[in-house]
Amino acid sequence: MLRYLQIWLASARYSITRTLMFRFDFFLWATVELVWMGVNLLLIAVVYGHTDTIAGWTKYEMMLLVGTAMLIQRLLFGFFWTSLFETARNIRSGHFDFFLAQPGNVMFMTTTRKIDPDSLINTFVAAGVIIYSAAQLNLHPSAGDIALYLLMILCGLLIHYSALTLTVALAFWITNAQGLEGSYFTLFEFSRIPRQAFTGVANVIFVWFLPAVIVSNVPAHTLLHGFDLVSALWLLAATIAWFSLACFVFHRGLRRYSSASS
């Protein structure tokens, strides 16, 4: 583990150094993401200007939920997105050979090579939204509640990572998975919606079968209402299941990979 940490730190230093060489790009994309987050919060303000609750959630409860979803997604974009986005392209071009030649786990080396500091900067904005919402709700979570919340954020991040890895790994079979990446964003748009808003078939699909809703709802529920053992075990089981599935599919795909280089 120490060896892999050293590898990741070396990659992180490279990414930060490269970002500093193109400072305008850094500020531009950080601003774009900040505006996108602002639009989401503005939408909440507009909607709650006409109603007091949605599916039993008040304005600041909804802001806390959306802040949680944004925090998880900013972490995903900061630590994994660029590497995963480039993986399918590398498989098509044959540049994936570079990762096969490295002395380490291929999945780790492929999906953690680059980080995006612009997304990581905006995690502080998402955290600020969560803290502000909690203050408006007069919440006073204990140190244990905060620790559990952060642990559940980590579980949500792993589920996001696993879902995106599964999508990218399909490139081993279908060559071009670019169109499927959009399905990931469509699916996890539901993470900003309260679980209580889903009923019938939608509840079965998006709450129980797919992890799109629980990744943000369970952590937010912990801050709002305290620890719920059933929900926590449900989130943990989903994390283990999706991460295991991602590892299985990715390594099965490796067996099908044939170099496109000379």
Domains of the chain: total: 1
- How much is the average pLDDT of 99-110? 84
Q: What is the pLDDT of residue 259?
A: 67
Which among 88-102, 103-117, 228-242 has the top mean pLDDT? 228-242
Across 82-96, 107-121, 165-179, 242-256, least confident range: 165-179
Question: Is 262 contained in some domain?
Answer: no
Q: What is the pLDDT of residue 260?
A: 57
pLDDT band for position 168 (cuts 50, 70, 90): confident
pTM of the predicted protein model: 0.88
pLDDT band for position 177 (cuts 50, 70, 90): low
Question: Is 148 contained in some domain?
Answer: yes
Does the pLDDT of residue 262 top 70, yes or no?
Answer: no
* The length of the chain, given as a count of residues: 262
- How much is the average pLDDT of 210-225? 89
* Chain mean pLDDT for the chain: 86
Does the pLDDT of residue 186 top 90, yes or no?
Answer: no
- Domain extent, residue 236, equals 2-256
As a whole number of angstroms, the distance between CA 113 and CA 111 comes to 6
As a whole number of angstroms, the distance between CA 44 and CA 129 comes to 12
Give residue for tokens 């449900």: 234
Alpha-carbon separation of residue 82 from 36, 86, 149, 186 (angstroms): 18, 6, 26, 18
Q: What is the pLDDT of residue 69?
A: 92
Question: Is 192 contained in some domain?
Answer: yes
Q: What is the pLDDT of residue 212?
A: 82
Question: Is 261 contained in some domain?
Answer: no
50 Cβ neighbours under 8 A, 6+ residues apart: none
Question: Is 32 contained in some domain?
Answer: yes
